Amino acid sequence: MTDIAVIGRKVRENVRRVLVGRERAVELALVALACEGHILIEDVPGVGKTTLARALAVSLGLECRRIQFTPDLLPSDITGVSVYNQRTGEFEFRPGPVFTNILLADEINRATPRTQAALLECMEERQVSVDGIPRPVPRPFLVMATQNPVEYEGTFPLPEAQLDRFMLCLDLGYPTPDEFITILERVRVRHPLENLRPVLVPEEIQTLQAQVKEVRCETSLKRYIGEIVAATRQHEEIALGASPRAGIALFKAAQALAGLRGRSYVIPEDLKELAGPVLAHRLVLKPEARMRGLDARQAVAQVLARVPVPTEEVIHAE
């Protein structure tokens, strides 16, 4: 798994030139890229959500387009539209910004649910159907969406079906005072994004995605994933637990994390570390649980505390 680790290190070092103290978020974003998943970055405005997305896009050397989601954005503004050509007497399809490698959906929850739903098909099927004709999007294809907390004015909560399409949900948080000083020094003359250059070629991205699938995950750990997912559906504070898609996402993400850290096999700590980013945004808590101040990450932590972890003896016995 040396190639995966080397590729990941190149991207992390490049993004570090722009973002300060966000190594964890960058690593999780690479996990999603390696699994051909999608990323939801949720935090308050101004902490670097868009900067992270743009820095990754530049580092990967892929075509990137940005959509600023607003309440008046229409589905056709995302997918494209068929326009009648008077000269030829036929309708011609004009592709929307979704036909790219990396789609930066900025402040996705400021758009109406109808517009948000326009991304569902391309996120899952890697295609867009316009006028009944399926049109594939380029590969690799990655949606990096940012959203503001739902309590902010002018936001619409993402539907559960769309949240389930995002492999990982990240948050960045505020920088420490020392990190903020470094940020100020870097932007004093010009933004560091202006000097950022690609460090990967398409072949390296293909290598990354192919080798991740070869990372070994023992049967006992696969059973552990199933027990975690099932436990979210049995938790007394959770109204809607994790789906089978969530379990598959946790399995693939663990493979990618292990590979990025130079291992050819998954360990229980990979699954426990990823359970929050992979599962929490998919859960719907009961109203009384939310009133008591419980959030989804805490519920996932409670689930992990209840599900027995496979012992080293069991793993090696396989």
For 293-305, what is the mean pLDDT?
Answer: 89
Asked if 302 contacts 276 with a C-beta cutoff of 8 angstroms, the reply is: no
Look at residue 30 and tell me whether its pLDDT is greater than 70: yes
316 pLDDT band, cuts 50/70/90, is: low
Q: Give one word for 80, left, alpha or beta, with left for phi > 0 and alpha for psi -120 to 50.
A: left
CA distances in angstroms from 200 to 108, 130, 148, 204, listed in the order given: 28, 33, 30, 6
pLDDT at 215: 92
Which contacts of 74-81 are long-range, i.e. CB under 8 A and separated by 24 or more positions? 74/115, 75/114, 75/115, 75/117, 75/118, 77/115, 78/115, 78/118, 78/119, 79/118, 79/122, 79/128, 79/130, 80/128, 80/130, 80/135, 81/130
Asked if 276 contacts 297 with a C-beta cutoff of 8 angstroms, the reply is: yes
312 pLDDT band, cuts 50/70/90, is: low
227 pLDDT band, cuts 50/70/90, is: very high
Look at residue 224 and tell me whether its pLDDT is greater than 90: yes
Handedness of CA 238, 244, 246, 250 (dihedral sign): positive
For 203-230, what is the mean pLDDT?
Answer: 90
pLDDT at 249: 94
Give the span between the Cα atoms of 27 and 31, in whole angstroms: 6
Which of these ranges, 101-105, 150-154, 187-191, 296-300, has the smallest mean pLDDT? 150-154
Q: Which of 34-48, 99-113, 217-231 has the highest mean pLDDT?
A: 217-231
pLDDT at 56: 85
Instruction: At 144, give phi and psi (nearest 5°).
Output: -115, 105
Look at residue 10 and tell me whether its pLDDT is greater than 60: yes
Give the span between the Cα atoms of 257 and 23, in whole angstroms: 13
Look at residue 245 and tell me whether its pLDDT is greater than 80: yes
Look at residue 151 and tell me whether its pLDDT is greater than 60: no
Asked if 202 contacts 250 with a C-beta cutoff of 8 angstroms, the reply is: no
Look at residue 259 and tell me whether its pLDDT is greater than 60: yes
pLDDT at 64: 83
Handedness of CA 30, 228, 125, 240 (dihedral sign): negative
Quote the mean pLDDT of the chain: 85
Q: Which of 109-118, 163-172, 225-234 has the highest mean pLDDT?
A: 225-234
Q: Which of 277, 278, 268 is nearest to 218 (CA)?
A: 268
- What percent of the chain has pLDDT above 90? 20
287 pLDDT band, cuts 50/70/90, is: confident
For 13-28, what is the mean pLDDT?
Answer: 85
273 pLDDT band, cuts 50/70/90, is: very high
216 pLDDT band, cuts 50/70/90, is: very high
Residue bearing the bigger pLDDT, 155 or 274: 274
- What percent of the chain has pLDDT above 70? 95
pLDDT digits (tens, 9 = 90+) for 61-118: 888 888 888 888 888 888 888 887 888 877 888 888 899 888 888 888 888 878 877 8
Residue bearing the bigger pLDDT, 292 or 44: 292
Q: Which of 48-52, 162-166, 261-265 has the highest mean pLDDT?
A: 261-265
**What are the structural domains of the chain?**
2-191 (3.40.50.300), 215-317 (1.10.8.80)
